[in-house]
Amino acid sequence: MAKPEMYRHPTRSEIIELAVAEGHDADIPGNAGSIHQVHSHTSRPRSLRKKHESEKPSAMAIDKDVEKGDTAGSISSDEEAADMNEEDPNVVFWDGPDDPENPLNWRETKKWGTVTLVSGITFLTPLASSMFAPGVPQVMATFNSTNDMIEQFMVSVYVLGFAFGPMIIAPLSEMYGRLPLYHSCNGLFIIFSIAAAVSTSMTQFVTFRFLMGCFGGAPMVLGGGTIADLISREQRGTAMVVWMMGPTVGPCVGPIIGGFLTEAKGWRWNFWFVAIIAGALMLMSVILMKETSAPVILERKARRLRTETNNPKLRSKLASDLSPADLFKFSIIRPAKMLTRSTVCLAMSVYIAITYTYLYILFTTFTAVFKSQYHWTGGVVGLSFLGIGLGSLIGQFGFTYFGNKTVNKHIERDDFNPEHRLYTMCVGGCLIPGGLFWYGWSVQASTHWIVPILGTGLIGFGLLMTFMPATTYLVDVFTVHAASAMAASTVLRSLCAALVPLSSSKMYKAMGYGWGNSLLGFVSLVLIPIPFLFIRYGEKIRARSTVKL
């Protein structure tokens, strides 16, 4: 029987790959350890370890130029490799390759049941971001508001929560494990969903929507790591595709459900519906889910063995030398440094933020557009989101097929570099402005409703073909610190998607749907050269990088 990947000593590339899935950087110890030597066999206190380690360059203290692929401080020398393989009786690890405590050795039904639950939760929380969009006019009437800015903000404020919640959830999960964060965030998400359903003022409603977003982002932070904990590399791709369907398709499916639910029961039932489904999923997760984080499981095992054997020197092999303060510092400061000091990270994050913002501009205006231009009423309004949903779904599969085909071709030639990820982005970037022009002028001319729906489908396809390659490019460029680069991109896109749509109604009133969407299209046209420039000059740009972390 082959050894589980967590039992043998993983390679540097495997550590990086697993760290990205877990949502942290590869110099922070995770299920496969760290790319830096962690002296978990020492029993000295942290303060003494710091004093001792100051006598030689520390892996955590060495400046690394992440865009140049500098691997200073990583496990590379024979001496370090030998040290990693050193047998130490005080190091606690799995009891052989078949240890039942290792989540990779759990029963298949238990593993895939957990993946199914996590995927369900990850589908629900993005769905809740836009589900009540068709009911916005009812909400405005309930609270006697005519403020256009509030009308847009009540939809996008949920995404603002996505910018702040994960920055705290991620480091907490490194310290306390995934399960406590799942349960606590799910519970708070349900509480604030109910609070939104019974809101008595616009202020209460917007505040509770924001808090729903803060805690609703938890499964998107934790889900990839849970899948990596449970599923072997050979099967992980399938599980990740299923899990990614939530953030991709959920926001587009939500308004379709919400349109008919609002018509039948009123806008408050959108939140009761979310709370009921989230409650059922939470009940199932409390009963069925177990902790999957290897560092946390091994730390509990080491604690138990220290008590049973009265040996205080026992330490988990995956123990971290990082303090809680360090984890928070890396989770917050690193993404900010990368966003402000890296040309690659800034350019890709801005591109992603603008395209993601277009999605929420459309989400916040579809209801008004199809009511005023096509006189759609009731639950039928929710069907206006169908085009962008199907386009996004097709884009997801299109990127997976063509992106992998292109990358594998260059890997076989042994000439692969991160810029090869951007070929599909060139296609997506060209489709977005075309879709915006198509949608805007067909609505302006009041053509048959299928025409603008097809235009939004083209936009959805282009968005996914742009968003996905840009994200994977950041992973390939920043490798060890890929999670920080992705966090920087996530924060910027969430802020833009929450705030920019506030002016969309005024834009359409001033310019009309044709020229309003054309303005967005012209901005997209300006962005088109970015992937082409990086394909040609990206390697030189990275070579001149000055980002030190």
Model confidence over 82-126: pLDDT tens digits?
344 456 788 888 888 888 889 989 999 999 999 999 999 999 998
Q: Residue 4 has what pLDDT?
A: 54
pTM over 0.85: no
How far, in Å, CA of 147 to CA of 105, rounded? 56
CATH 3.10.20.90 is the classification of domain 1-35+100-314: no
449 neighbors 373 (Cβ within 8 angstroms):
no
Query: Residue-wise over 219-242: b if at least 16 C-beta within 10 A, else e?
Result: bbbbbbbbbbbbbeeeebeebbeb
Q: For position 382, what pLDDT does the model report?
A: 85
Helices and strands in the chain, H and E counts: 20, 2
DSSP string, 107-164: -HHHHHHHHHHHHHHHHHHHHHHHTTGGGHHHHHHHTT---HHHHHHHHHHHHHHHHH
Q: What is the DSSP string of 52-77?
A: HHTTS--TTTS--BGGGT--TTSS-S
Fold of 335-549: Growth Hormone; Chain: A; (1.20.1250)
Token readout for 235 is: 């099967």
Query: What is the reported pLDDT for 167?
Result: 82
Tokens of 143: 């609270």
> What is the Cα–Cα distance from 222 to 177, expressed in whole angstroms?
10
Low-confidence ranges of the chain (pLDDT < 70): 1-9, 36-87, 546-549
Bridge partners, 91 (sequence order): 315
Domain with CATH 1.20.1250.20 in the chain: 1-35+100-314, 335-549
Please, are residues 456 and 423 in contact by the beta-carbon 8 Å criterion? no
| Distances, alpha carbon 195 to alpha carbons 104, 182, 198, 275, in Å | 39, 20, 5, 10
**Residues 6 or more apart whose Cβ sits within 8 Å of residue 94:** 4, 6, 7, 101, 102, 298
For residue 3, give the DSSP letter: P
3-state secondary structure 243-269: HHHHHHHHHHHHHHHHHHHHHHHCCHH
User: Which residues of 330-370 form beta strands (DSSP E)?
Assistant: none
Residue 380, token pair as written in the block: 């039928």
Phi, psi of 33 (to 5 degrees): 90, -150
Q: What is the DSSP letter of 25?
A: -
pLDDT at position 56, please?
Answer: 36
What CA–CA distance (Å, rounded) separates 443 from 323?
56
Q: Tell me, what's the pLDDT at 327? A: 77
8 Å CB contact between 224 and 293:
no
The confidence score (pLDDT) of residue 346 equals 92
Residue 508 has a pLDDT of: 92
Per-residue pLDDT, 237 = 72
